[in-house]
Each structure stands twice: as C-alpha cells, then as structure tokens.
Amino acid sequence: MALKYTNCLSDLSNVFADYPLEIDELDQFYQETIEIRTGDAGLSPIEYLYAACTGNPRGRNAHLLMGHRGCGKSTELNRLAKRFKDAGFSVRTVYCDKELDRTDMAYTDILILMAEALISIANELGCSVSRRDLQTLLRFHQEIERVDVSVKDANLEIADGADVQSPTILSGLLRFFISLKASLKFNQETRVTIRETMKPRVSEWLAVMDRISELISEKNDHRQPILIFEDLDKGNSWDVFHLHGEQLTGVHFPIIYTFPIGLSFSTAFSEMDAFFDVRRLPMIMVRTVSGEVNPPGVAAIQRIVESRCNPQLFEEDVINYLIDMTGGSLRDLFYTIREASFISMLRRADAIAMDVAKLALRELRNRLKIRVDASDFPFLRAIHENHQIYSDREKLLKMMEGDIVLEYNGENWYDLHPVIEEFLRDNGVFPQPQSGAST
C-alpha cells in the first residue's frame, strides 16, 4: 500500500508500518538526517558510498554499511539507489531476507543472487554474453537439474552453431534462477546440494560475473553496474562475511552489503578490513552524552513524523516523549506509534494521550527486557555511566544485537536504550532521577 499523509488515527498503523520508504515515496516523505547523525555533513557515509561507486576510485569496491536495525539504513539505500539510477547507472537491490532463509545463509547463495542480478541487467540492456560464459552458466544449470526437478522446465541449451546472443537464452537463465532461489529458501536438502555444486566453481563464477559486468559497462556508456545487498544484517551473516570475505569481494564492480553493527565489535572483525570498506550510519542522537535533550535530533524526528501525519493526532508533548524514550530508533518509535494508535482506537479517542503513549512504551520495554538478565546489570551500568567500552566486547556484541545498547555519532559513544535505562532504574540498578532532571 502506497504511503499517504493522514489525518486519521486509524491510518497510523499503515503510515508507520515497519517498512523503508520506497523510491517513489522519497520526494514527499524523506527527511535529511545525515548531518545530525554524524555531527558533520563531510562525514556522511552515504555521500562516500555514492562517490566510491560512481567515481571508480582505486580503493575497494566492496562496501559494508553498518547501523542498528531500524535506524534508517534501508531508506538511505533506497535513496542512494535512486541517485545512481538518476545518474544513469544500472542498479539492482537484492533483498536477501525475501530470497533466502535468514537462519541459514551461505556465501554461495549470495554469489547466485549476484549472478541473477547481473544477468537481469544484461538482459534488460540487450548485452551479448559470450558463448563461453553462457556455457559456464548452463553447465551449472545442468548439474543442478539432476538433483532439483523444479528447474527442469527452464529448457536451456546451446546447440552447435546456435545464435548464443538470442535473448531467449538470458530469459531462460533468469527463469532458472527464480526456481533456484525457491530451492535455496525452502528446500534444505537441495540447498546443501546446490552449495556443494557451487563451491568448486567459485573462481570461474566470479570471472564470469566480472565479464558480464564489463559488457554492461560497455553498453551503458562505461558506467559499471551497482549491486546493493539488503537485509544481510537480519540473518546469520557473520560466517558469510568473516569466513568468505575474499569471495564476496572477488569481483571488480561496486557492491554494497548491509552488516550487523553489533558484529563489528567481535575480535575477529578486524580480519575483514583487508577485504571491505566499512561505513557506519549512526543513530539520530536525541540526547547528548551528558543526558540532555539534543534539540536538532528531536526536531529531525519530529519532521519525519509530521511529514506522515497530522501532529494533532497526538496530545501535547506525546510525540517528543515517544522520541525521547525510543532513543533515536525509528523502528521502535514507529512500533510505539502503531501500538498507541490501536489502544486509542479501542478507547474511541481522537488522539494519542500521554498515558496511552506510556502503555505502548511498556510493551516495547517488555519486548526488550527479556534480552537482559541480572548478570548483565553491572556491564550495563558501566555503559550508562562511562559511555565507552573498556572490556567484555562479546557482551557488548550481544547487547547491541539486542538493541539494548545504542551507539551514537562522531565520537562513537554508547548508552542504554531509554526503556532499558528506565527498567534498570525501577530495579534499583541506578538511582531514580530527581524531579525535573533528565533521564
């Protein structure tokens, strides 16, 4: 359903659904937040990615974009994809969460999705893929066909003397990849066989991808194709990146991967620096490191909310309270607005009242607090008091993956999610704030 501005409480669940802005929604609803996130417009990870992917620098062409889940990465990447397209580049965004089993991803799965994306672009541009490369892909098809009956209807072959530039070959390969993706996502037994078939031909596969990307570049005024792999921060992607960085960066056209921010604190993360350029999208800072309200951050999120709905749907101070208590997490803010709108409709209210906002935040707190136990309390207290990490990076990884600890801009400082801070105060880990003091 297309996003539309609303004056109705009943529409808030759709207006604040847990989805990024689509390309055709950006002009109306996108709000600029990069300078507020980073502390300086010159530190924009998005501007860097645009320059790196379009300028063909000598640096690395495989990029990791990290950020907390729900911080706005997907919207920023959709906007970046639009800029690439507007500049004439061929772009594909691959949504790995939709195409693969998020609990069981492998690097070979990513390489298969990469091939499909490039072949789709090549087919769209009318590229003439060589007989040699087509035969490499068709041999893979034939091997898979022996173990997976779902791909047999692709009916692909190159007869001696046939015109291998026929678009029917590429169209048939795309049908094959559609069937292959279904097997990767839903058929565990076939998934294993596909991966084992793929492993010995990875080097050959990467070389084919490079040659297809060169054909695309030649066809598109020397503009390289650009691939964006989304949702990899939602699955079991650590081994995919840590153990197979060389394969995932083994091509020579620009690729952007999303990556779980918590995993960057693993002791093994430094090994990935040899392969990837790493960029962070920080949270929108709604409190300063000293705990005071950060007006620019609050105002930025207010603009996001008010671009989507009439602010009169919230009673006085409710929007600001929800912004403060969700710590700059747009996903958590949107969740609490949806919860509060539902409660308000059951009450037959015309607007979200403060007591309803607190009930919605209680639901969020209940979801988060089960990720914490008493043994974590000393560590969390140290985070809140010092805002830095001095030990136990593995625990930090767990806390950041669970959105218990949030990372903020520029100086890379840390704090607890506000509802977790409140939970710990209620359990005597911190003293209750004095009346009128910031929490």
375-378: long-range contacts (C-beta < 8 A, 24 or more apart)?
376/404, 377/424, 377/427, 377/429
Question: Is 89 in contact with 254 (CB distance < 8 Å)?
Answer: no
Q: What is the mean pLDDT of residues 66-71?
A: 86
The count of C-alpha atoms lying within 13 angstroms of the C-alpha of 314, restricted to the half-sphere facing its C-beta, is 23
pLDDT value at residue 439: 44
Q: Helix (H, G, I), strand (E, B), or coil: what is residue 73?
A: helix
Give the span between the Cα atoms of 291 and 415, in whole angstroms.
Answer: 9
Read off the pLDDT band of 28 (50, 70, 90).
Answer: very high
pLDDT value at residue 438: 46
390 with 258, same domain: the answer is: no
Quote the domain boundaries for residue 88: 34-280
pLDDT value at residue 167: 65
The answer to whether residue 153 sits within a structural domain is yes
The answer to whether residue 9 sits within a structural domain is no
Read off the pLDDT band of 311 (50, 70, 90).
Answer: very high
CA distances from 216 to 155, 176, 205, 211, 367 (A): 25, 21, 17, 9, 47
In Å, the largest CA–CA distance within the chain is 85
The answer to whether residue 272 sits within a structural domain is yes
Average pLDDT, the chain: 88
Q: What is the mean pLDDT of residues 394-416?
A: 84
Share of the chain above pLDDT 90, in %: 57
The answer to whether residue 289 sits within a structural domain is no
Which one is predicted more confidently, 307 or 233?
307
The answer to whether residue 342 sits within a structural domain is no
Instruction: Report the range of poorest mean pLDDT among 156-165, 168-177, 211-220, 246-255.
Output: 156-165
pLDDT value at residue 339: 98
Final residue of a structural domain among 280, 306, 336? 280
pLDDT value at residue 24: 93
Highest mean pLDDT among 37-41, 89-93, 424-428, 432-436: 89-93
Q: What is the mean pLDDT of residues 292-301?
A: 95
The answer to whether residue 220 sits within a structural domain is yes
pLDDT value at residue 275: 87
Final residue of a structural domain among 280, 305, 335? 280
Q: Closest Cα partner for 324 from 213, 406, 253, 223?
A: 406
The answer to whether residue 171 sits within a structural domain is yes
pLDDT value at residue 394: 78
411 with 269, same domain: the answer is: no
Residue 269 has pLDDT above 90, yes or no: no
273 with 382, same domain: the answer is: no
Instruction: Report the range of poorest mean pLDDT among 66-75, 149-158, 400-409.
Output: 149-158
Q: Where are the alpha helices (DSSP H) in 166-254?
A: 167-186, 188-198, 202-219, 238-248
Domain count, the chain: 2
Phi and psi at 218, nearest 5°, equal: -65, -35
Q: Closest Cα partner for 323 from 301, 340, 345?
A: 301
pLDDT value at residue 190: 85
Give the span between the Cα atoms of 68 and 24, in whole angstroms.
Answer: 24
Give the span between the Cα atoms of 103 and 237, in whole angstroms.
Answer: 9
pLDDT value at residue 163: 46
190 with 61, same domain: the answer is: yes
The answer to whether residue 336 sits within a structural domain is no
Other beta carbons less than 10 A from residue 120's beta carbon = 17
pLDDT value at residue 435: 54
Give the span between the Cα atoms of 307 and 312, in whole angstroms.
Answer: 13
Two structure tokens written together for 264: 């960057």
146 with 269, same domain: the answer is: yes
Tens of pLDDT along 100-143?
888 888 999 999 999 999 999 999 999 888 888 888 888 888 88
257 with 381, same domain: the answer is: no
Share of the chain above pLDDT 70, in %: 90
- Host H or E run for residue 415: strand 414-416
pLDDT value at residue 160: 44
pLDDT value at residue 413: 87
Tens of pLDDT along 149-171?
565 555 555 444 444 555 677 88
95 with 244, same domain: the answer is: yes
386 with 266, same domain: the answer is: no
Final residue of a structural domain among 234, 253, 280? 280
Read off the pLDDT band of 53 (50, 70, 90).
Answer: very high
The DSSP secondary-structure symbol of 286 reads: S
102 with 251, same domain: the answer is: yes
Spacing of C-alpha 15 from chain mean position: 20
149 with 258, same domain: the answer is: yes
